């Protein structure tokens, strides 16, 4: 039993203590179920049963969720509570106190929310909040005003995004749209001066060819024409000097480059390719999105990206050409062939980033059937992104436990140069970061997104968000990022950030048993399976008669046990019935081994990131042994030196004592041990040392700094927390002095009263918390007297 | 749990209460009266604790301070002279779930209500009793009260009060089953608020003596404490009234005091060189009378009738 943390000291739903009593006979059918899968008379789990560690959550008034999230104009995801708190920073306590209620009002409608502009959604929730609270007119006005300010303070272009089945696509669209918009604007900004330069070149050339240069200059200089004769200047300069007109070929090339650079960029920002199973009709009608259905979506995506790259290559080629021409560095022999062969290999990062995002949307089942084309795409040069939706509890073949789980992410990592990520809709910020990482990678990527629905499509018992989160907790869908660009070592390339209990086998949660017993229970893949009706056949209720039998073992312990220990034991999980009763459920062998399989993959990830890694542990052990040996050797050397020194001192002291004794006996030097010539002098005390030192020179008197009277504060102010609410000042001037929300005085309108009133209020104030400051009106009568009276309050 | 950022097991109350929800009629105390500060402190506590106004009762006797229930936007009972505490005890006996604040003055509590005072302390029912001690009968225009200092000129003793004043704190600490005694002053709202909050949180009867200035009749009676803050002794302890750092400058004199030490509490209450503010004594183990009086509250009408019938049947012929 462990002590609860602060977070766990909240009210918990107490579970009844497990039933006692052991009956070996009753255990026989349980063991038969575990080993042979024969349920016999064992009861299935009741409908609505949930893992016991989720008892608190199951009794909550509403299913937990972190949705909707707020997505800002840049595509960044913010938690709703955090976003509201950030927007309400510095606002009245009346609003801050009610932010949880406002969030509750927003969440109350989030069930029907896919995506919506944040400002009107928050506005409607604010109206409902105001109606719910039914405050008195004064505070209600204050709250309404504060809510209006809050809505204005929300991030520009913010949207609320709910946990819809296509939330991954919605976040993908928001992330990509914002990022590509900015990148293309930057590119156009880069091209604008090039286009301007080309236009000037062509204009000059036109003037040369048409011979109207002098007239054109004269016309352009209309205001100062009487001071400057361009025609005379042209004659004086002669016509044979200066630059020559462009050749027809050059003119044509420049004109083409200019037209290319000036043409609007109409390419889509997002191209979604799917194999016919992408259920997001809204995408097809969305601005700058192209949706393509294809038999082989991976090859189609590569082809589409190639086509887009070729189209953009024309623009980038024109830009390169324009830059060379404008810098007078263009040499047709040298640059011509290079520009003719210009393709995506020559794009810089900014240019690559401006290309449309080509995303293959698929599912784990579809991807498992199309491993070869997907693998080709992941090994290719086109930065095709594969967004694969994964049902964490199911295998690629469905809810079967006959094979070890196909780890698509592990398979993806074998491509080495592709970005591979595993994320979930249960962690919106993690998902958005993964999408943004794939967007910035400029290399093929595989993003596996854990979805929130159950295997058989039935409603998740504790809500979609918790179902998705259970995938992470049960190690069915651990989060990881494999980024080949992050470095040459696994330690840099692979990250498992975001997983619960990253150093442990399973995350644990504190469960209250009875009224005073707390235990930490693991949440395993078998616990997660309790939430899936598809696995109902793999769990059976253990009869109460043998529920406490020692041969029953929590599955986390069973998985950690040796084969011998496991042999006669049955793994179990604790579940809570809809009525709140605690039941023990036996786990079938296939499900237990599936849990082992998921744990093994988790261990693999841990080892790859350096947690519980045998090589690392061996290195640690070796280093510790080396250090201990070195330490022991140093200690032995010091002890030997110390023993030698002690022996020497003993020897010399004995000789000296004998010498003195001999001298005394033979009438030599006086025998005075306390004043022995070789005896060490006692150490001096600090006082004695001080006496021997010359007296320090007296410090000169510190020169007193001229004290100037502190300037009184210019503005009047009130130390409100000291105000006794006695009304003295308010009665004096109800505009100059007002009460705050806690009915303590503060300065209202400092121009609504006189300095005399401030001084009188300060004198009357029983807690002396009014500070009149300096007069604002220099013409106020009796100012000298008032300033003198105010001085002691400032 | 599961990455949840907030506790989903907590249900947010539907309602939210602002300061205005605890405001009743406009307070008619004199400007500068210390009662205003006490009223504001109680209203702030009610708001901060989000107490539903219908779950709060303020009870008073007679006197300036006993106008208190009129100024609270809650249920209230303006009782008879000296009878604030029995009324409050009656409320608590049958409605133990209500939060009860008692406003009583030095005359109301320590003179005509002294008998009730003793027994209310012994009953130790869960309520907050605020003794507004302004050392005078103010409502009736300046008569000597039990706590008037010796020599104070009043309408009943124009040449000065003859007897030494009664010390309500010392007296309360002598009553059986006392469970919470604290002192504070009205002119420091920070300490006043902290003390009343501590009293509110106490399970049992919390008795708080508040030195309260009357700007009309005893405006000089606490001058020595106000002009020389060293005469205010701030009691400090981890289980005492939390002392805001803002008070360091205002009240420099401090003393550590363990509120479970009754002997030390009595000694502090008896000191006349300084006035100790803070928690003098607290013992939450004292029995509370409402634990007895609440018995049977959950009985249905039928159960009660059956019980009555059974009792009456014993007398049936």
Out of B18, B40, B187, whose CB is closest to A139? B18
Is the Cβ–Cβ distance between A448 and A423 less than 8 Å?
Answer: yes
Of A218 and B196, the structure prediction assigns the larger pLDDT to B196
Task: Express each pLDDT in B288-303 by its tens digit.
Answer: 999 999 988 889 999 9
Q: What is the mean pLDDT of residues A299-327?
A: 94
Q: Which pLDDT value is given to residue A277? A: 79
CA distances to A93, A526, A616, B130, B215 from B138, in Å: 38, 75, 82, 17, 10
Q: Which pLDDT value is given to residue A696? A: 45
- Which residues in chain A have their CB less than 8 angstroms from residue B33's CB? 726
CA–CA gap between residue A167 and residue A163 (Å, rounded): 6
Out of B2, B11, B20, whose CB is closest to A466? B2
Backbone angles phi, psi at A74, to 5 degrees: -95, 5
Q: Are B32 and A764 in contact (CB < 8 Å)? A: yes
Task: Express each pLDDT in A347-403 by its tens digit.
Answer: 999 999 999 999 999 999 999 999 999 999 999 999 999 999 999 888 766 667 878
Residue ranges of domains in chain B? 19-289
Q: What is the mean pLDDT of residues B152-168?
A: 96
> Is the pLDDT assigned to residue A91 strictly greater than 90?
yes
Of A699 and A178, the structure prediction assigns the larger pLDDT to A178
> Is the pLDDT assigned to residue B6 strictly greater than 50?
yes
Q: Which pLDDT value is given to residue B7? A: 74
Q: Which pLDDT value is given to residue A657? A: 82
Is the Cβ–Cβ distance between A794 and A759 less than 8 Å?
Answer: no
Rounded to a whole number of angstroms, the distance from the CA of B72 to the nearest CA of chain A is: 14
Task: Express each pLDDT in A433-485 by its tens digit.
Answer: 999 999 999 999 999 999 998 888 888 888 899 999 999 999 999 999 999 99
CA–CA gap between residue A525 and residue A502 (Å, rounded): 16
CA–CA gap between residue A446 and residue A80 (Å, rounded): 29
Out of A136, A427, A723, whose CB is closest to B20? A136
Q: Which pLDDT value is given to residue A575? A: 94
CA-based nearest residue in chain A for residue B222: A766
Is the Cβ–Cβ distance between B101 and B59 less than 8 Å?
Answer: yes
CA-based nearest residue in chain A for residue B1: A509
Q: What is the mean pLDDT of residues B95-119?
A: 97
- Which residues in chain B have their CB less than 8 angstroms from residue A469's CB? 2-3
Q: Which pLDDT value is given to residue A394? A: 85
CA-based nearest residue in chain B for residue A731: B31
Band of pLDDT at residue A673, cut at 50, 70 and 90: very low
CA distances to A464, A521, B102 from A507, in Å: 20, 8, 52
The three-state secondary structure class of B242 is coil
Backbone angles phi, psi at A675, to 5 degrees: -120, 30
- Which residues in chain A have their CB less than 8 angstroms from residue B21's CB? 135-136
Q: What is the mean pLDDT of residues A589-617?
A: 91
CA distances to A143, A715, B288 from A746, in Å: 20, 12, 42
> Is the pLDDT assigned to residue A55 strictly greater than 90?
no
Q: Which pLDDT value is given to residue A683? A: 43
List the beta strands (DSSP E) in chain B: 56-60, 75-78, 99-105, 127-133, 180-185, 205-211, 232-236, 254-256, 275-282
The percentage of residues in chain B with a pLDDT greater than 90, rounded to a whole number, is 88
Q: Which pLDDT value is given to residue A667? A: 61
Q: Please compute Rg for chain B using Cα positions.
A: 21
> Is the pLDDT assigned to residue A167 strictly greater than 90?
yes
Q: Which pLDDT value is given to residue A669? A: 46
> Is the pLDDT assigned to residue A662 strictly greater than 80?
no
Q: Are A10 and B7 in contact (CB < 8 Å)? A: yes
Q: What is the mean pLDDT of residues A110-124?
A: 87
Is the Cβ–Cβ distance between B135 and B154 less than 8 Å?
Answer: no
CA–CA gap between residue B88 and residue B77 (Å, rounded): 8
Largest CA distance in chain B: 78
> Is the pLDDT assigned to residue A668 strictly greater than 70?
no
Is the Cβ–Cβ distance between A391 and A368 less than 8 Å?
Answer: no
CA-based nearest residue in chain A for residue B23: A743
- Which residues in chain B have their CB less than 8 angstroms from residue A56's CB? 1, 8-9
Q: Are A101 and B20 in contact (CB < 8 Å)? A: no
Out of A10, A139, A427, whose CB is closest to B20? A139
Q: Which pLDDT value is given to residue A112? A: 63
Rounded to a whole number of angstroms, the distance from the CA of B188 to the nearest CA of chain A is: 6
CA-based nearest residue in chain B for residue A723: B189
Buried b (16+ CB within 10 A) or exposed e, B144-163: bbbbbeeebebeebeeebee
The sign of the dihedral angle between the CA atoms of A284, A289, A292, A298 is negative
> Is the pLDDT assigned to residue A5 strictly greater than 90?
no
Look at residues A110, A105, A115 and name the one whose alpha carbon lies nearest to residue A143.
A105
Q: Which pLDDT value is given to residue A491? A: 86
Q: Are A726 and B12 in contact (CB < 8 Å)? A: no
CA–CA gap between residue A238 and residue A138 (Å, rounded): 85
Q: Are A136 and B15 in contact (CB < 8 Å)? A: no
Out of A136, A466, A722, whose CB is closest to B21? A136
Rounded to a whole number of angstroms, the distance from the CA of A722 to the nearest CA of chain B is: 5
- The answer as to CATH 1.10.3720.10 being correct for domain A717-791 is no
| Mean pLDDT of the residues in chain A | 86
Out of A56, A98, A723, whose CB is closest to B16? A98
Q: Which pLDDT value is given to residue A710? A: 56
> Is the pLDDT assigned to residue A713 strictly greater than 80?
no
* DSSP bridge partners of A513: A15, A517
Look at residues B87, B80, B48, B49 and name the one whose alpha carbon lies nearest to residue B62.
B80
A115-117 and A480-482 beta bridge pairing: unpaired
Out of B15, B37, B250, whose CB is closest to A725? B37
Buried b (16+ CB within 10 A) or exposed e, B284-297: eebebbbeebbeee
Task: Express each pLDDT in B186-210 by its tens digit.
Answer: 999 999 999 999 999 999 999 999 9
* Best mutation target, A743, A746, A765, to test chain B (most B CBs within 10 A): A743
Q: Which pLDDT value is given to residue A243? A: 61
Q: Which pLDDT value is given to residue B282? A: 98
Q: Which pLDDT value is given to residue A659? A: 81
Band of pLDDT at residue B95, cut at 50, 70 and 90: very high
Backbone angles phi, psi at A7, to 5 degrees: -65, -25
The three-state secondary structure class of A365 is helix
Is the Cβ–Cβ distance between A550 and A562 less than 8 Å?
Answer: no
> Is the pLDDT assigned to residue A123 strictly greater than 90?
yes
* Best mutation target, B5, B12, B16, B213, to test chain A (most A CBs within 10 A): B16
Q: Which pLDDT value is given to residue A20? A: 53
CA–CA gap between residue A380 and residue A301 (Å, rounded): 11
Least confident of A57-61, A225-229, A317-321, B73-77: A225-229
Residue B268 makes CB contacts below 8 A (sequence gap 6+) with B233, B235, B255, B257, B276, B280
Least confident of A332-336, A519-523, A614-618: A614-618
Is the Cβ–Cβ distance between B74 and B54 less than 8 Å?
Answer: yes
- Which residues in chain B have their CB less than 8 angstroms from residue A500's CB? 2-3
Q: Which pLDDT value is given to residue A94? A: 93
- The answer as to CATH 3.40.50 being correct for domain A169-215+247-281+289-451 is yes
| Mean pLDDT of the residues in chain B | 94
CA–CA gap between residue B277 and residue A188 (Å, rounded): 73
The percentage of residues in chain A with a pLDDT greater than 90, rounded to a whole number, is 58
- Which residues in chain A have their CB less than 8 angstroms from residue B16's CB? 97-98, 101, 133, 135
Residue A59 makes CB contacts below 8 A (sequence gap 6+) with A13, A580, B9
Q: Are A133 and B16 in contact (CB < 8 Å)? A: yes
CA-based nearest residue in chain B for residue A467: B2
Rounded to a whole number of angstroms, the distance from the CA of B119 to the nearest CA of chain A is: 32
Q: Which pLDDT value is given to residue A689? A: 40
Q: Are B34 and A470 in contact (CB < 8 Å)? A: no
CATH tag, B19-289: 3.40.50.970
Out of B1, B9, B21, whose CB is closest to A509? B1
């Amino acid at each position: 039993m462990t002590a609860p943390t602060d977070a766990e000291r909240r009210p918990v739903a107490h579970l009844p203590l497990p039933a006692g009593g052991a009956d070996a006979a009753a255990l026989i059918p349980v063991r038969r179920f575990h080993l042979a899968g024969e349920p016999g008379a064992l009861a299935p789990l009741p409908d609505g049963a949930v893992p016991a560690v989720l008892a608190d959550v199951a009794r909550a008034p509403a299913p937990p969720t972190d949705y909707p999230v707020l997505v800002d104009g840049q595509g960044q995801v913010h938690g709703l509570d955090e976003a509201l708190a950030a927007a309400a920073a510095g606002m009245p306590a009346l609003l801050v106190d009610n932010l949880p209620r406002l969030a509750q009002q927003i969440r109350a409608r989030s069930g029907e929310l896919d995506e919506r502009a944040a400002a009107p959604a928050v506005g409607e929730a604010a109206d409902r909040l105001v109606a719910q609270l039914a405050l008195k007119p004064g505070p209600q006005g204050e709250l309404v005003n504060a809510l209006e300010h809050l809505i204005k303070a929300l991030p520009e272009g913010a949207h609320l995004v709910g946990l819809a089945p296509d939330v991954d696509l919605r976040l993908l669209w928001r992330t990509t749209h914002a990022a590509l918009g900015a990148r293309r604007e930057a590119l156009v900004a880069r091209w604008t001066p090039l286009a301007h330069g080309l236009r000037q070149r062509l204009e000059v050339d036109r003037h040369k060819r048409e011979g109207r240069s002098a007239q054109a200059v004269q016309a352009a200089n209309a205001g100062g024409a009487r001071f400057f004769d361009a025609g005379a200047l042209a004659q004086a300069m002669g016509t044979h000097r200066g630059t020559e007109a462009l050749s027809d070929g050059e003119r044509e090339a420049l004109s083409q480059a200019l037209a290319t650079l000036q043409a609007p960029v109409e390419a889509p920002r997002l191209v979604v390719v799917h194999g016919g199973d992408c259920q997001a009709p809204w995408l097809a009608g969305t601005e700058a999105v192209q949706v393509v259905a294809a038999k082989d979506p991976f090859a189609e995506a590569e082809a589409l990206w190639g086509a887009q790259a070729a189209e953009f290559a024309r623009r980038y080629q024109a830009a390169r050409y324009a830059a060379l021409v404008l810098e007078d560095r263009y040499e047709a022999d040298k640059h011509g062939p290079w520009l003719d062969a210009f393709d995506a290999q020559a794009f810089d990062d900014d240019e690559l980033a401006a290309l449309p995002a080509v995303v293959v949307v698929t599912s784990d089942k579809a991807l498992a059937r199309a491993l070869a084309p997907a693998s080709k795409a992941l090994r290719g040069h086109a930065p095709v992104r594969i967004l694969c939706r994964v049902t964490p509890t199911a295998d690629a073949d469905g809810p079967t436990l006959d094979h070890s789980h196909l780890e698509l992410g592990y398979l993806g990592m074998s491509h080495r140069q592709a970005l591979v990520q595993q994320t979930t809709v249960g962690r919106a910020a993690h998902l958005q970061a993964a999408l943004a990482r794939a967007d910035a990678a400029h290399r093929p990527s595989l993003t596996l997104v854990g979805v929130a629905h159950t295997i058989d499509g039935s409603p998740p018992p504790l809500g979609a968000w918790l179902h998705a989160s259970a995938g992470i907790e049960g190690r069915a869908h651990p989060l990881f990022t494999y980024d080949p660009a992050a470095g040459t070592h696994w330690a840099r390339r692979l990250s498992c950030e975001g997983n619960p209990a990253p150093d442990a086998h399973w995350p644990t949660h504190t469960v209250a048993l009875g009224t005073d017993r707390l235990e930490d229970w693991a949440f395993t893949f078998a616990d997660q399976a309790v939430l899936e009706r598809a696995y109902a056949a793999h769990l059976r209720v253990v009869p109460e008669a043998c529920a406490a039998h020692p041969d029953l073992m929590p599955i986390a312990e069973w998985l950690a046990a040796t084969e011998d220990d496991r042999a006669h034991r049955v793994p179990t999980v604790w579940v809570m019935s809809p009525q709140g009763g605690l039941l023990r459920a036996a786990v079938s062998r296939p499900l237990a081994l599936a849990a082992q399989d998921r744990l093994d993959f988790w261990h693999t990830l841990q080892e790859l990131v350096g947690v519980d890694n045998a090589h690392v542990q061996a290195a640690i052990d070796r280093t510790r042994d080396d250090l201990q040996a070195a330490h022991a050797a140093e200690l032995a050397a010091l002890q030997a030196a110390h023993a030698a020194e002690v022996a020497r001192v003993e020897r010399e002291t004995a000789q000296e004592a004998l010498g003195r004794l001999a001298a005394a006996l033979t009438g030599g030097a006086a025998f005075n041990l306390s004043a022995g010539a070789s005896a060490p002098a006692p150490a001096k005390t600090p006082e004695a040392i001080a006496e021997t030192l010359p007296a320090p020179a007296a410090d000169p008197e510190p020169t007193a700094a001229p004290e100037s009277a502190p300037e009184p504060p210019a503005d009047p102010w009130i130390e409100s927390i000291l105000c006794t609410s006695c009304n003295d000042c308010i009665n004096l001037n109800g505009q100059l002095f007002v009460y705050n929300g806690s009915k303590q005085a503060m300065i209202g309108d400092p121009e609504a009263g006189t300095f005399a009133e401030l001084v009188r209020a300060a004198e009357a104030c029983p807690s002396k918390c009014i500070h009149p400051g300096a007069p604002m009106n220099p013409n106020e009568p009796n100012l000298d007297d008032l300033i003198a009276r105010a001085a002691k309050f400032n | 749990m599961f990455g949840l950022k907030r506790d989903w097991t907590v249900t947010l109350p539907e309602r939210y209460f602002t300061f205005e929800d605890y405001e009743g009629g406009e307070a008619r105390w004199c400007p500068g009266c210390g009662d205003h500060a006490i009223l504001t402190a109680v209203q702030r506590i009610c708001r901060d604790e989000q107490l539903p106004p219908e779950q709060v009762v303020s009870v008073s006797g007679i006197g300036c301070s006993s106008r208190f229930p009129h100024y609270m936007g809650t249920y209230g009972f303006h009782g008879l002279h000296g009878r604030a505490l029995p009324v409050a005890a009656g409320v608590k006996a049958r409605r133990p779930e209500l939060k009860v604040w008692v406003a009583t003055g030095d005359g109301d509590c320590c003179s005509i209500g002294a008998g009730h005072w003793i027994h209310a302390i012994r009953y130790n029912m869960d309520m907050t009793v605020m003794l507004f001690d302004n050392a005078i009968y103010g409502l009736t225009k300046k008569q000597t009260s039990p706590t008037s200092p010796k020599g104070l000129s009043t309408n009943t003793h124009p040449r000065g009060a003859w007897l030494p004043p009664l010390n309500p704190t010392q007296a309360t600490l002598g009553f059986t089953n006392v469970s919470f005694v604290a002192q504070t002053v009205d002119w420091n709202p920070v300490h006043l608020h902290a003390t009343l909050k501590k009293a509110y949180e106490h399970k049992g009867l919390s008795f708080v003596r508040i030195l309260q200035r009357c700007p009309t009749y005893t405006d000089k009676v606490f001058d020595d404490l106000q002009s020389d803050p060293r005469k205010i002794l701030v009691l400090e302890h981890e289980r005492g009234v939390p002392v805001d750092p803002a008070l360091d400058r205002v009240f420099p004199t401090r003393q550590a005091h363990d509120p479970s030490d009754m002997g030390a509490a009595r000694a502090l209450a008896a000191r006349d060189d300084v006035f100790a503010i803070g928690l003098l004594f607290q013992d939450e183990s004292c029995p509370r009378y409402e634990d007895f009086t609440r018995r049977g509250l959950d009985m249905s009408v039928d159960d009660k009738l059956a019980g009555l019938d059974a009792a009456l049947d014993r007398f049936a012929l």
